[in-house]
Amino acid sequence: MEQPICTQKQPYVIEESPGTKVWCACGRSKNQPYCDGSHQGSGFTPIRVEITEKKTVAWCGCRQSGNKPFCDGSHRKLD
C-alpha cells in the first residue's frame, strides 16, 4: 500500500462545531484536513468523527499519528 501524503508538519488546529467531520487519511484532499473524495482508488479510507460539543481540535497534518485522526506529536520526528 502506498504512503499517505504529509500535507504539513504540524496539526491543523481548528475550532469545531458539533457534527460529523471526515478527516482526509490520504493527504490528497484540496480541503485539508477534511476529505473531499480525492482518495478514490487509492486504498485509503477517510475517518469519520462525531464532534459532540464546540471545541478546539488538533487534526493530524503529517498522517503519521498513532492516534489518527488527531495529532499525537509524531510530526516532531519527521525530517
pLDDT tens for each residue of 34-46: 999 999 998 999 9
The three grid cell numbers given for residue 35, joined into one nine-digit string: 476529505
pLDDT at 77 over 80: yes
Residue 29 CA to residue 79 CA, distance in Å, equals 23
Distances (CA, A) of 58 to 1, 13, 16, 19, 41: 26, 4, 10, 16, 27
Residue 1 has pLDDT above 70, yes or no: no
The pLDDT assigned to 79 comes to 79
